[in-house]
Amino acid sequence: MILKTIIVLLLIANMIALGTAFYAMMHDMGSEEGSRTARFLLIRVSLAALLLIVVAYGLYTGDLGLSAPWHPDRP
């Protein structure tokens, strides 16, 4: 259950970082200082990579699994 909570928190943090980067891009438009958007997008990409690592860990350990009705291994 803790793994699913971490995944949801990472998804929410990813969306917040994306929104913050969008705000920085719109607010700094025409300005000489454009590195804020790049910094926020770097944070977003790092969060996405961390999310992929957590999901892969969950699948590897068996804490997360496939429950699709069309999956052949489903009982």
37: nearest Cα among 47, 50, 45, 26 = 26
Q: Which two tokens stand for residue 75?
A: 């009982």
pLDDT tens per residue, range 11-34: 999 999 999 999 988 888 766 666
The pLDDT of residue 74 is 62
The answer as to whether 14 is a domain residue is yes
The answer as to whether 69 is a domain residue is no
Residues 6+ apart with CB under 8 A from 54: 3, 6, 7, 10
Domain enclosing residue 11, as ranges: 2-61
The pLDDT of residue 33 is 66
The answer as to whether 30 is a domain residue is yes
pLDDT tens per residue, range 38-53: 889 999 999 999 999 9
The answer as to whether 15 is a domain residue is yes
